[in-house]
C-alpha cells in the first residue's frame, strides 16, 4: 500500500472510537476511554550488560532498574541493525533489514544521512490520524532538514535535536534543530565543555511535551544520544565516579576529543541518562498518567568498539555474555536490552524470552493504540506477551538482518539457531557459520557441518528474505548486478 493510500485509509478507520486491537484502553477523568500514551526511549550504543537489571555492577542505573522491576524484561530482543541509521529505520517503519529502505549508514553532506523516502510510513504517521500528539526528541538520523526524511514531514509535530548523526558527535553543540529552525546555543563551541549539555536539553523538552499533552494521547520517541561517543559529561555527574578505578586518560584521535577520565566519564554519562529516564517516569506518575502510559526502553545497537574514543567496553563487560560489538551481526552487536512498563497492564517483575526485534515495535504500538499498521511490514505485535497472554502470541519463524556495513553481513535467528555470513563484499561465497545459542551463546563453535539440514534452511532464508536495496551503496554480495 502506498503511503498516501495508507494515511487516507487510516484516517477513515479511526474516525470514531477505538478500533479493534488493544482491549485495554485507559480512562480519562470523565470516565470515557482514551487511547494509551506511548513513550519509547532509545539509548545510543548502550550495551546489553550496561544496566543493573541486566547484570552491570560498576555503572549505577537505579531508575531504569526500577522500570524493569515494575514491568517486563526482554532477554531475547534485537536491535534492527548493528549501527544507528538502519536500526532506526527498522524501528520507525516495521521492516527488517531484508526489506528496509536504509541498510547501512550513508552520509549526506553537509548535515545528514540518507533520507527515508515519502513512500515509507513511520510510527508517527500511523498514529497521527488517531489524534496523537507526536514528538521526536534527540537523534533522528533518517534524513536531513527539508528532505523526504525530515521528521516534521514524517508525522512528528515536534522535532528537537540532531537531524544528523555526525553532528551528534559532540554533547555541547553550537545549535540544535527545533522543527524548521536552528536553536543557537550561546556558550557552546563544540569543545570539551560548554554552557548547554544537549541531553539535558532533550530531557527538558520531553518533560515540556508531556505536560503540554497530558490531556490527549501522545507518542514520545525519546532518542537520546547517550552513551555514544564522544565522552563528555557535566562535572557534577563525573564526581560520582572519578577515582573509583584505574582510569588512564584518553588523548584523543580519530575525530574524538580527549578525555581525562574516560571510564568515569562513560559511567557518569549512563547514570545521568538514567536520571533523565527517572525524571520522565516521575512526571508521568505525578500527572496521574501511569495507567494510561506504556514506557519502553531499548538500545539501537551494541556497545562501541574497544578503546575507540576512549571507551572501554571490555572493562564494563558491556556485551556480556556475548561476543561482538557495534558493527557486528554477532549477538553482542545486535542483542538489545528491552524493558516495558505499563501500570495495571504489565505484571511487575516479569521476564520474557520471546525472540523479538525492532520491527515488532510498530505493530505492537498499533495494537496498543487501536489503529491498523501499514501493510507489507515484517513485524509481529508482542502485546499479548506484555499483557501476560503467551498462548495468544504469534511468533516469527525467523529474524533476519541484511547489513551492508562492516564488510557486508547477513544473519538469521531461527529458534535456538543463529546463522551468519560475513565479509561478503570481498567474498560473495563466504561460508555459512551456524551456532547453537542454547549451548554456545558466545558464538564460538561453528556447527554448520554437523547440521546440514539447518544450514540449508538458513541459506534459503538468506536468499528469500531480502529484496534488492534501492540505494546502490546498500547492495553487496549477490546485489552486485541487481
Residue 134's φ and ψ, nearest 5 degrees, are -130, 140
Closest Cα to residue 303, out of 339, 338, 328, 277? Answer: 328
- Mean confidence (pLDDT) of the chain: 93
Domain boundaries, the chain: 35-392, 399-479
Domain 35-392, what architecture? 3-Layer(aba) Sandwich (3.40)
Statement: residue 480 has pLDDT above 80? no
Angle, CA of 361, 85 and 106, to the nearest 5°: 155
Say yes or no to pLDDT of 270 above 60.
yes
User: 62-105: per-residue pLDDT in tens?
Assistant: 999 999 999 999 999 999 999 999 999 999 999 999 999 999 99
Percent of the residues in the chain that have a pLDDT greater than 90, as a whole number: 90
Cell of 89: 529505520
Average the pLDDT over 305-326 and give the result: 93
Q: What is the pLDDT of residues 379-390, one digit of tens each?
A: 999 999 999 999
Class of the domain covering 399-479:
alpha beta
CA distance linking residue 72 with residue 435, whole number of Å: 28
What's residue 34's pLDDT?
85
Summarize pLDDT for 230-262 with one digit per residue, the tens.
999 999 999 999 999 999 999 998 788 999 999
Contact criterion met (CB below 8 Å) for 333 and 326: yes
Distance (Å, rounded) from C-alpha 443 to C-alpha 456?
Answer: 19
Q: How many CB atoms lie within 10 A of CB 66?
A: 17
What integer is the mean pLDDT of 267-278?
98
Whole-angstrom Cα distance, residue 277 to residue 44?
14
CB-count burial class (<10 Å; 0-12, 13-18, 19+) for 251: exposed
In CATH terms, are 35-392 and 399-479 the same topology? no
> Could you report the per-residue pLDDT of 419-440, keeping only the tens digit for each?
999 999 999 999 999 999 999 9
pLDDT at 33: 75
- Mean pLDDT (whole number) for 408-417: 98
Strands 175-178 and 433-436: unpaired
Give dist(CA 352, CA 366) in Å, integer: 21
Non-local (6+) Cβ contacts of 307 within 8 A are: none
- Please report, in angstroms and rounded to a whole number, the separation of the first and last CA atoms in the chain: 24
pTM: 0.94
Amino acid at each position: 500500500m502506498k503511503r498516501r493510500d495508507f494515511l487516507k485509509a487510516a484516517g477513515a478507520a479511526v474516525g470514531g472510537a477505538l478500533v479493534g486491537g488493544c482491549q485495554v484502553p485507559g480512562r480519562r477523568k470523565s470516565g470515557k476511554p482514551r487511547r494509551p500514551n506511548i513513550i519509547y526511549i532509545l539509548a545510543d550504543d548502550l550495551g546489553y550488560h550496561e544496566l543493573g537489571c541486566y547484570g552491570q555492577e560498576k555503572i549505577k542505573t537505579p531508575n531504569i532498574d526500577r522500570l524493569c522491576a515494575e514491568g517486563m524484561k526482554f532477554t531475547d530482543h534485537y536491535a534492527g541493525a548493528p549501527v544507528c541509521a538502519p536500526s532506526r529505520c527498522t524501528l520507525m517503519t516495521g521492516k527488517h533489514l531484508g526489506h528496509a529502505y536504509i541498510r547501512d549508514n550513508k552520509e549526506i553532506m553537509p548535515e545528514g544521512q540518507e533520507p527515508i523516502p515519502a513512500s515509507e510510513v513511520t510510527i508517527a504517521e500511523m498514529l497521527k490520524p488517531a489524534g496523537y500528539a507526536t514528538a521526536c526528541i534527540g537523534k533522528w538520523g533518517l534524513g536531513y532538514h527539508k528532505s523526504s526524511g525530515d521528521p516534521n514531514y514524517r508525522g512528528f509535530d515536534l522535532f528537537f535535536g540532531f537531524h544528523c548523526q555526525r553532528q551528534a558527535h559532540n554533547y555541547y553543540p553550537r545549535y540544535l534543530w527545533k522543527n524548521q529552525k536552528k536553536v543557537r546555543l550561546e556558550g557552546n563551541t563544540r569543545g570539551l565543555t560548554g554552557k548547554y549539555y544537549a541531553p539535558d536539553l532533550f530531557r527538558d523538552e520531553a518533560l515540556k511535551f508531556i505536560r503540554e499533552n497530558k490531556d490527549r494521547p501522545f507518542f514520545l520517541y525519546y532518542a537520546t544520544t547517550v552513551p555514544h561517543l564522544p565522552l563528555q559529561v557535566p562535572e557534577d555527574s563525573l564526581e560520582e565516579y572519578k577515582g573509583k578505578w584505574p582510569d588512564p586518560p584518553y588523548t584523543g584521535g580519530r575525530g574524538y576529543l580527549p578525555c581525562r577520565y574516560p571510564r568515569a566519564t562513560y559511567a557518569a554519562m549512563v547514570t545521568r541518562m538514567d536520571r533523565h529516564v527517572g525524571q520522565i517516569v516521575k512526571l508521568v506518575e505525578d500527572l496521574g498518567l501511569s495507567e494510561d502510559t506504556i514506557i519502553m526502553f531499548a538500545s539501537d545497537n551494541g556497545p562501541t568498539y574497544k578503546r575507540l574514543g576512549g571507551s572501554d567496553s571490555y572493562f564494563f563487560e558491556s556485551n556480556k555474555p556475548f561476543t561482538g560489538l557495534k558493527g557486528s551481526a554477532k549477538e553482542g552487536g545486535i542483542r538489545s536490552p528491552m524493558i516495558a512498563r505499563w501500570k495495571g497492564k504489565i505484571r511487575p517483575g516479569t521476564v520474557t524470552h520471546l525472540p523479538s526485534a525492532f520491527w515488532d515495535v510498530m505493530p505492537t504500538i498499533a495494537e496498543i493504540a487501536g489503529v491498523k499498521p501499514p501493510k507489507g511490514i515484517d513485524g509481529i505485535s508482542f502485546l499479548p506477551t506484555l499483557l501476560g497472554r503467551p498462548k495468544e502470541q504469534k511468533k516469527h519463524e525467523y529474524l533476519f538482518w541484511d547489513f551492508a556495513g562492516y564488510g557486508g553481513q547477513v544473519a538469521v535467528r531461527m529458534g535456538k539457531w543463529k546463522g551468519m555470513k560475513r565479509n561478503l563484499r570481498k567474498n560473495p561465497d563466504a561460508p555459512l557459520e551456524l551456532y547453537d545459542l542454547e549451548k554456545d551463546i558466545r558464538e564460538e563453535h561453528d556447527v554448520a557441518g554437523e547440521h546440514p539440514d539447518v544450514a540449508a534452511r538458513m541459506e534459503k532464508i538468506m536468499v528469500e528474505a531480502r529484496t534488492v536495496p534501492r540505494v546502490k551503496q546498500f547492495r553487496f554480495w549477490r546485489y552486485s548486478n541487481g
